Amino acid sequence: MILVFIGPPGAGKGTQARRLTERFGIPQIATGDMLRARKEAGTLPADLAATMSAGGLLPDEAVVGLIRDRIAEPDCAKGFILDGFPRTKGQALALDTMLKNSGYDLDRVLFLQVPDSLIVERIVNRRVCVSTGEVFHLMYSPPPAGRDVRQRDDDTEEKIRRRLSEYGNTFEALRQHYGSLVREVDGTGSIEEVSGRILQAVEA
């Protein structure tokens, strides 16, 4: 099974994709996580690291190669869940070619929909566990005592506005590109409620 999650920052793509990996036994591939790991390790070129910190999108060629290498790994043979890729029409076209060359078919493209006002509230309260990558919300799912959690440097209100505007510029082109594979899912409510809607959309 190959699934793609599309949605604004803070829509819950990562949280929901992680839940599906357990259910379907396939890996989650998150370009944001891969890029952050490189940034923290100091292996991401400085100009790209600065673009990320400012909440901008990296050029397509900087992310397409990451995905090409990752989906060629053995744990992707039964499928995978893409979270945060593709984000542009160019990336979607590159993905089409990669899947065709590997003999894979895309099953569903899930658009998680959450209003901007809720996104901002979710993101400024988002904290990520340094050792496990688990995502917490300071009020609704606070980190357990003793956890070393951090706020991402692009999770400030100003940068969220920029990231929302990047998303606003590109999502319609992606929706049109994927046509009948698209399922729109209401991303508001509890994590369980959204998971239930996603499973229905995947299995329908």
Catalytic residue annotation: 13, 87, 126, 152, 163
Give yes or no for residue 70 binding ligand AMP (CB under 6 A).
Answer: no
By beta-carbon proximity to ligand AMP, the closer residue of 29 and 198 is 29
Q: For strands 2-6 and 108-113, give the pairing.
A: parallel
- Kindly determine how many residues on this chain lie close enough to bind ligand AMP according to the rule CB under 6 A: 17
Residue of 70, 87, 127, 197 that binds ligand AMP (CB under 6 A): 87
Give the helix, strand, coil percentages of the chain, each rounded to 5.
Answer: 50, 15, 30
Give yes or no for residue 32 binding ligand AMP (CB under 6 A).
Answer: yes
Give yes or no for residue 163 binding ligand AMP (CB under 6 A).
Answer: yes
Give yes or no for residue 3 binding ligand AMP (CB under 6 A).
Answer: no
- Range 109-138, binding ligand AMP (CB under 6 A): none
Min dist. Cβ of residue 203 to ligand AMP (A): 25
Binding site for ligand AMP (CB under 6 A): 9, 31-32, 35, 51-52, 55-58, 63, 84-85, 87, 91, 154, 163
